[in-house]
Chain A
């Protein structure tokens, strides 16, 4: 049944190999040049403007989020850090009392906040500050006004985008139970992209489509046996498992990057809800066609270019699939912070056979491989981009991918453009 939707003979790229030989995975553990899970707050707080994210941590945590946010754009942001001081560590101050006092002050100043996330950090985990208990206590105190949840974004347990995974898991117990038939899109999307997806699903005849996280933190979708989960982001392993525990069915699909991925992603939902193939084609074909048109000029720049992806956001594998199959790039190495084979199954199957995957990182060794391979483009974090550029290697900063609307057929051109821009720019500059 799936094949009916998945085959896109006119894509102009090679069909998925029948039996891809499993690529050898390079596993490394060493210095990681990857953010911790706290960084997810930077987009989560924008997704849910009625939520506040209070990190319980150190000055480092506060400085990290501020630096990761790049510029200090928000005069008074909806995230902050309860900085532990010597008194808290020495036990001179009761950490729970301190936290209660601080939360009270914060909520007085921000009466519009409906959900407060207490976010655990490395120091709060190491001193075993029980934020679950604190959240419970504060929830009771603030009953009917503010819901208080907790999760860990600590670097000793989470990497970059796993912060969102943990935040969503924390929200799950609040989701009402219902066996109503629905499609649940899980993972933060740009509002405009989400609207677009909803419109297309509506055209396909899917009447009940909901999102997690919601735009308003209190507007939580129900979950139950009738729920089909479509992951919009590839880093939600724990959330996916927890939703399955609540009776939901996880749909397997490539992630909605590029024309092919987005089409197959929607096809998975269409199949699950019994949308007739001809109707699906009638709705999607024009979008696919338009998406390919938008891609074409960027494919010209990217085709044949060699790409090295350093681990960062977990988006590396689906992006590699898109850039190789739809943009014609050659994959030198595809790094990922960790590999969840179940969540990546559909994308892995579409990667060229024997693509070199690497899991984890030892940044010095990986950079040696980058230098040896001299790729045309490296996807990496901002700590590495300028140093690589200074060595003459073109880079694309990965953090832009978690902030930019890149999902869906309509964004395929923009997504490809993000990768083509550094190459175009280098072609433009007549500088030594």
Chain B
């Protein structure tokens, strides 16, 4: 599974990247994940299965979705704040399964 994380500068979401990777390792999941800045989202078309957006960019979800053409949603604020890798991973999986 390939998850893209996006926030304004790719900084705060990079905290979550590490935690999601750890959660996936525990589950024995094959996972590719990275964090990018919103400004760089256009370079990511066609590379990912699902995109999680920092809650501070909830207003950009539609425009990111239009560019990437994959499931895109903002992470629940509390999950984002605590960098809860397990819950974020569950969320990504549920998005992909629709």
Q: Do A and B bind each other?
A: no
Binding site for A on B (CB under 8 A): none
